[in-house]
């Protein structure tokens, strides 16, 4: 068995949560940014054993035991170093290649290369900072002031200025012994077609990207010229020692406040981070212009349990917010979201409304899953069953990222309620793989078919939803007794109570009061039809209503005629003469009623309304 590559050991340490590991052996309580408990390595009555998640280490001040997560497991389990690393690697899903002596030499060279890389980046950071606060940095300082960034905040984040010119950085770092080819590999210089090099960052405000250990790994640059001579923002390329999806801008500054508040505010841009810190919101970080990755989410989890996504208010910010869901759910973080108006972002919002206004939004932030579901459901609430089923694809994608079973059940019930789909059918649909949902889809469609009403009764429903003030006359005249559907009669009572309570029809609340099923589907269709017929005025609606009521009466008369005729056929004239005469009289009255309806329908006054 060969040596374990150093890169694998570093990966194991980066991807293992020391707090979560130690808590499997020790009961810990928060103490500021850290956690404390009784030491597992010696007897004690008062806790002197501390875990520092941000630093990835533990320390007992009673027995002096301490180290990283590998050393902790070696001490408590009695494992040797390779056994411990291999165990942690297996838990994290990291493959360990066997290492030969030649590979060990390559690892040693990598360590030396990283040492030089970090020295180059630190020297570049010093150079850029000197330029910002020197004579050549006046234009950059003025720009920062215009953005509301004071000197103290700029120095906290190590902001700098890359001077205008082609070889300023190359020359300055060359004096420290760093060759242009090295700077190219570090992402600070670019090779030209003449065999030389030129500076990557020129006439830009420069933002150092710093890891949690305080190492400068990369830079971002914001152009100061407005002549369109290049991209507004540029960033260091990825290198063997820097992967942007594994770092969070501002974490080195924010980690202490994040630990105290147990929350992080994630924004889109570097300037947002700096501006919000300057405004006193010190838990702010940014994901380096990428979608939030699982590595970044695990990094957040080392310092916070609640993560607030506050991306820009435009559609791109909305889509980026949605893409954060999977990583945050996988990390087991409480994910919530703050949204802004379309033309707004956190920086401009705070400058206009103040930090306390943003703090209030952070406190009231909506759960990210609930926001994402609302975004998928709201456009089809109250629509046809086909439209609502179409939204389930997006809903399914969201819910597959919810790992906690109780949370999944909660959100599935909420989706069923809002889409008016039977919960059991909805869950069956969502739990099937996409390629096997046809059968479940047909079951949902079948269950979602509306109650079939005679056309006149459907017309009465639609017109009374449009003109609910007529409901009192409808019931005073006992027209509900003419309906063939008792379910419709009961629903119209619900509408009347709703109208009297709310002084109008509130569609979402009315649908909320209507149980899922056929009648609800019919109500949804009628509401949609009412909405599409808004161009008709009250007079046209009244004529429609009168026509429907007349048809209702006629339909009732036809039903009564048939019913009485059947009754009459079953009566024995000789033994039940009185009953026979009574039914005959009722039948005659019904037929006279039908004849009067026909005459009314053909009269000119009826035609004119």
Residue 96 pLDDT > 80: no
User: Do 6-92 and 103-242 come out as alike in CATH topology?
Assistant: no
pLDDT at 599: 64
Q: What is the pLDDT averaged over residues 298-327?
A: 90
Q: What is the CATH number of domain 246-364?
A: 3.40.1360.10
d(CA 165, CA 125): 17
Residue with token string 């408590």: 76
Residue 603 pLDDT > 60: no
Residue 125 pLDDT > 90: yes
Phi, psi angle pair for 401, to nearest 5°: -90, -5
| Residue 23 confidence class, pLDDT cut points 50, 70, 90 | confident
Question: What's the chain's average pLDDT?
Answer: 85
Residue 45 pLDDT > 90: no
| Residue 545 confidence class, pLDDT cut points 50, 70, 90 | confident
Residue 114 pLDDT > 50: yes
| Residue 607 confidence class, pLDDT cut points 50, 70, 90 | very low
pLDDT in tens, 448-457: 565 677 888 8
Least confident range from 46-60, 129-143, 582-596: namely 582-596
Of 243 and 438, which is predicted with more confidence?
243
Q: What is the pLDDT averaged over residues 466-476?
A: 88
| Residue 585 confidence class, pLDDT cut points 50, 70, 90 | confident
d(CA 307, CA 223): 31
| Residue 604 confidence class, pLDDT cut points 50, 70, 90 | very low
Domain at 6-92: CATH architecture: Alpha-Beta Complex (3.90)
Residue 503 pLDDT > 70: yes
Domain at 103-242: CATH architecture: Alpha-Beta Complex (3.90)
Of 61 and 305, which is predicted with more confidence?
61
Residue 228 pLDDT > 70: no
Residue 101 pLDDT > 80: no
pLDDT at 584: 83
Pairing of strands 263-266, 204-210: unpaired
Neighbour-count burial of 254, counting CB atoms closer than 10 A to its CB (0-12 exposed, 13-18 middle, 19+ buried): buried
Q: What is the pLDDT averaged over residues 230-253?
A: 92
Of 6 and 528, which is predicted with more confidence?
6
pLDDT at 449: 60
Q: What is the pLDDT averaged over residues 70-88?
A: 87
DSSP 242: B
Least confident range from 214-223, 302-311, 555-564: namely 555-564
Reduce the DSSP state of residue 44 to 3 states and report it.
coil
Q: Looking at beta carbons, which pairs linking 576-582 to residues 24 or more positions away fall under 8 Å?
A: none
Closest by CA position to 511, among listed 526, 500, 531: 526
Residue 92 near residue 15, CB atoms below 8 Å:
yes
Closest by CA position to 269, among listed 344, 205, 325, 347: 347
Residue 6 near residue 27, CB atoms below 8 Å:
no
Residue 505 near residue 499, CB atoms below 8 Å:
yes
Residue 64 pLDDT > 50: yes
Residue 1 pLDDT > 50: no
pLDDT at 99: 62
pLDDT at 104: 67
Q: Quick one: residue 430, left, alpha or beta (phi over 0 = left, psi -120 to 50 = alpha)?
A: alpha
Rank 87-101, 103-117, 358-372 by mean pLDDT and report only the highest.
358-372
Residue 187 near residue 236, CB atoms below 8 Å:
yes
pLDDT at 605: 44
Every domain of the chain and the residues it spans:
6-92, 103-242, 246-364, 372-447, 455-602
């Amino acid at each position: 068995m060969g040596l374990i590559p150093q890169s694998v050991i570093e990966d194991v340490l980066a991807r293992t949560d020391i707090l979560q590991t130690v808590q499997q052996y020790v009961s810990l309580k928060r103490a500021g940014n850290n956690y404390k408990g009784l030491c597992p390595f010696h007897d004690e009555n008062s806790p002197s054993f501390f875990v520092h998640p941000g630093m990835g280490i533990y320390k007992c001040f009673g027995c002096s035991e301490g180290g990283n997560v590998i050393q902790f497991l070696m001490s408590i389990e009695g494992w040797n170093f390779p056994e411990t690393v291999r165990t942690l690697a297996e838990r994290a899903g990291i493959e360990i290649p066997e290492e030969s002596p030649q590979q060990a030499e390559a690892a040693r060279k990598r360590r030396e290369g990283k040492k030089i890389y970090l020295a180059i980046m630190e020297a570049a950071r010093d150079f850029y900072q000197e330029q910002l606060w020197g004579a050549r940095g006046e234009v950059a300082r003025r720009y920062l002031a215009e953005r509301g960034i004071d000197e103290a905040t700029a120095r906290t984040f190590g902001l700098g200025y890359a001077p205008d010119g082609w070889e300023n950085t190359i020359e300055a770092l060359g004096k420290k012994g760093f060759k242009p080819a090295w700077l190219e590999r570090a992402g600070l210089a670019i090779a030209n077609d003449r065999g030389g090099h030129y500076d990557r960052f020129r006439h830009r405000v420069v933002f150092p990207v710093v890891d949690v250990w305080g190492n400068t790994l990369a830079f971002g640059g914001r152009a100061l010229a407005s002549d369109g001579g290049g991209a507004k923002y540029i960033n260091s390329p990825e290198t063997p020692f820097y992967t942007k999806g594994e770092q969070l801008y501002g974490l080195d500054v924010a980690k202490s406040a994040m630990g105290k508040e147990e929350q992080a505010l994630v924004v889109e841009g570097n300037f947002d981070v700096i501006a919000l810190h300057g405004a006193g919101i010190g838990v702010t970080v940014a994901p380096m212009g990428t979608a939030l990755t699982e590595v970044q989410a695990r990094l957040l989890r080392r310092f916070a349990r609640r993560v607030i996504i506050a991306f820009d208010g435009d559609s791109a910010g909305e889509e980026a917010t949605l893409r954060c869901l999977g990583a945050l759910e996988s990390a087991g973080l409480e994910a919530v979201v703050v949204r802004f108006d379309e033309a707004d972002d956190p920086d401009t919002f705070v400058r206009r409304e103040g930090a306390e206004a943003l703090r209030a939004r952070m406190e009231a932030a909506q759960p990210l899953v609930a926001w994402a579901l609302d975004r998928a459901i709201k456009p089809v609430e109250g629509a046809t069953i086909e439209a609502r089923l179409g939204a389930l694809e997006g809903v399914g994608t969201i819910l597959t990222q919810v790992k906690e079973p109780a949370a999944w059940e909660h959100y599935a019930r909420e989706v069923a309620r809002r889409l008016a789909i039977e919960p059991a059918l909805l869950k069956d649909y969502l739990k099937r793989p996409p390629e096997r949902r046809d059968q479940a889809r047909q079951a949902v469609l079948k269950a979602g078919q509306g109650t079939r009403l005679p056309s006149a009764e459907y017309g009465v429903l639609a017109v009374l939803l449009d003109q609910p003030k007529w409901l009192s006359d409808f019931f005073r005249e006992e027209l509900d007794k003419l309906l063939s559907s008792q379910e419709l009669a009961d629903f119209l009572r619900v509408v009347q109570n709703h109208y009297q309570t709310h002084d109008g029809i509130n569609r979402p609340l009315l649908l909320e009061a209507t149980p899922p099923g056929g009648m609800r589907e019919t109500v949804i269709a009628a509401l949609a039809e009412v909405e599409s017929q808004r161009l008709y005025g009250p007079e046209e609606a009244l004529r429609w209503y009168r026509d429907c009521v007349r048809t209702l009466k006629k339909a009732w008369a036809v039903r009564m005629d048939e019913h009485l005729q059947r009754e009459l056929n079953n009566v024995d004239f000789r033994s039940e003469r009185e009953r026979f005469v009574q039914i005959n009289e009722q039948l005659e009255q019904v037929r006279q009623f039908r004849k009067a309806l026909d005459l009314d329908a053909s009269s000119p006054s009826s035609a004119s309304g």
